[in-house]
Amino acid sequence: MQRFQGKVALITAAAQGIGAAVARRLAAEGAAVVVTDLQEDKLAEVAGEIGEQALPVRVDVTSDDDVRAAVAAAVERYGRLDVVVNNAGGCIVRSAPEDATPEEFHAQLDLTLVGASRCIQAALPQLVEHRGNVVTISSVNGIAAFGNVEYSAAKAGQIAMSVNYAARYGPLGVRFNVVAPGTIRTPNWDGRQDTLDRFATQYPLRRIGEPEDIAAAVAFLASDDASWITGHTLPVEGGILTGPGLFDLTPSGAYKKEYKQQS
């Protein structure tokens, strides 16, 4: 299939994991891909693997200038921009929610939620001109309680933001959708195979997701096959949201605190 022939896609955090898999999938279906990340060496490897269809650009999504420059580079090289895949993010607050500082919370929001907003704002003129679309990579954390409060709040914010953009820009032909992954085997889990094996038992399908699982969902939502779908979140999560396998979130270990009952 060449669903993206003549199209141009910009993917954030594309040096590895989900972002790299999305870039490979869209390129395999004909797209020119602008791959962005802070990890320039790994980004160059991904772009080299894809070939002439790929343009690597160093981007920090917390920088307005970087994001605008990436969109400008896409238009300068290819003459247009049709698809934005907001993949940049990550859990950067590791303390218990009652211990997180306002600065940590703001940093999490700036990377994950405001970063996605920056990309949308910078790309909007092109998306309107070419009736393009945005696919944002959120998380099941934005839908149900899996811990990591600040990360989860930012991911839920991505969903709410996308719904509102979909309503606002639908009349102009621009679509906004979300993919919500469960646990995916990415380099963030390197050295923790035992944890992944334990998590897999909590999923009805009894396996951890692969980056290619998410790339397939993104390719569908970004393509004309989904031309009448906007404002929706597609969970790609091995069935974890069915409920019985939800992780135990009871405070314990390093997160356990003793609270005196107030009389």
pLDDT digits (tens, 9 = 90+) for 151-160: 999 999 999 9
- Between CA 257 and CA 204 the distance in angstroms is 32
Give me the numbers of helices (H) and strands (E) for the chain, helices first please. Answer: 8, 7
Residue 127's H or E segment, with its range, is: helix 115-130
Q: Is residue 260 domain-resident?
A: no
Q: Which of 166-170, 193-197, 231-235, 246-250 has the lowest mean pLDDT?
A: 246-250
Residue numbers of the domain that contains 212: 8-242
State both tokens at 95: 């303390």
Q: Is residue 250 domain-resident?
A: no
pLDDT in tens, 65-93: 999 999 999 999 999 999 999 999 988 88
- Annotation marks residue 151 as catalytic: yes
- Judge whether residue 213 has pLDDT over 90: yes
Q: Is residue 216 domain-resident?
A: yes
Q: Is residue 71 domain-resident?
A: yes
Q: Is residue 253 domain-resident?
A: no
Number of domains within the chain: 1
Burial (CB < 10 A; 0-12, 13-18, 19+), residue 183, is buried
pLDDT in tens, 106-152: 999 999 999 999 999 999 999 999 999 999 999 999 999 998 899 99
Q: Is residue 200 domain-resident?
A: yes
Backbone dihedral region of 83: left (phi > 0), alpha (psi from -120 to 50 degrees) or beta? beta
C-alpha dist (Å) from residue 84 to 35, 46, 104, 119, 252: 11, 18, 27, 8, 40
Question: What is the pLDDT, as a whole number, of residue 253?
Answer: 43
Q: Which CATH number characterizes residue 226's domain?
A: 3.40.50.720
- Between CA 131 and CA 244 the distance in angstroms is 41
Comparison of pLDDT for 42 and 256, the residue scoring more: 42
- Per annotation, catalytic residue among 151, 165, 169, 203: 151
Q: Is residue 256 domain-resident?
A: no
Q: Is residue 175 domain-resident?
A: yes
- Between CA 70 and CA 121 the distance in angstroms is 12
Question: What is the pLDDT, as a whole number, of residue 192?
Answer: 87
